[in-house]
Amino acid sequence: MDPVPHALLTPCIGLCRLDAQGYCAGCLRSGDEIARWRGMSDAERRRYMDEVLPGRGWSPSPGQRLAERAHLLRALHPLQQPPAGPGWNHHELQDLLPDGAPVEAAVLAGLVPRADGTHVLLTRRTDSLRHHGGQVSFPGGRIEASDADAVAAALRESEEEIALAASQAEPLGYLDPFVTISGFRVMPVVAAIDPRFVPQPHPGEVAEVFEVPLAYLMAPDNLRSIETDYRGRSRVVLEYGWPGQRIWGATAAILLNLRRRLEQAA
């Protein structure tokens, strides 16, 4: 089964009311265009969103540019209802976790709409970092007392690490929390990223910023399991064979959780 089935590209934001000129107050389509939308080709829908509707004053948000938007909103935990629990993988690592309460953290799983499809924004951490140095990860870090919630923490960390402004990200929802053997309970926040964003890596934290097609990361055949020894116990870690980068461990597991939730919401 295709884990990311075709989703209808649409400018609809749920404000479905025609104004005096006969245009929708939310997306600026006419009633006739709305009626014909489902029967249009992808190319015609894209032309409307790139050429016709902007001429009427419509400006798409990053999330509206994502072909998978509707599917993602069905698959993710709503922003108003953050998921609870110790982590979907807690039972697998229970005997390896540090004593005491986990450190609460958040990461931003950024999805970038591109002409050739949606891409996932990833970073490679500098080798000198204390936790997970040199590893591929999502931007993020611990949730501070000054952060309103996990979304605020993920956005703050993303601005600090790669200069992503909050106005360039549109949070869509949460994946399931994930626990790491280093003692973090991570809340992944999925967000659409403005395709015009140009990363500026923090030299002390981020060595590189790169993108990988979502379709590649959601294909089951591209994810492999590797058996390794940790503290005298055999355990399995996940890894993608993306050229030039080792996408593994917590990052690969979070991407697997995204795939599973998309499959369940299909």
Residue 16 predicted with pLDDT over 60: yes
Please report the pLDDT score of residue 84 as a whole number.
94
> How is residue 237 annotated by DSSP?
E
pLDDT in tens, 72-126: 999 999 999 999 998 888 877 777 777 888 899 999 999 999 988 999 999 999 8
Contacts of 105 (CB under 8 A, 6+ apart): 140, 141, 142, 143, 153, 184, 185, 186, 187
Q: Is 98 or 224 the better-scoring residue by pLDDT?
A: 224
**Domains of the chain and CATH, by start:** 1-60 (no CATH), 70-264 (3.90.79.10)
Residue labelled with tokens 């395709």: 195
**Average pLDDT over the chain, rounded to whole?**
89
Q: What is the mean pLDDT of residues 54-80?
A: 90
Per the structure block, which two tokens stand in for 193?
């990223």
Residue 67: per-residue pLDDT: 86
What band does 183 get if pLDDT is binned at 50, 70 and 90? confident
CA-closest candidate to residue 11, choices 65, 47, 51, 52: 65
For the ranges 42-46, 83-87, 146-150, 222-226, the one whose mean pLDDT is highest:
146-150
Query: What's this model's pTM, rounded to 2 decimal places?
Result: 0.82
| Among 185, 203, 231, 241, CA closest to 127 | 203
Q: What is the DSSP letter of 81?
A: S
Q: Which residues of 73-105 are buried (b: 16+ CB within 10 A; e: fewer)?
A: eebbbeeeebbeeebbbeeebeeebeeeebbbb
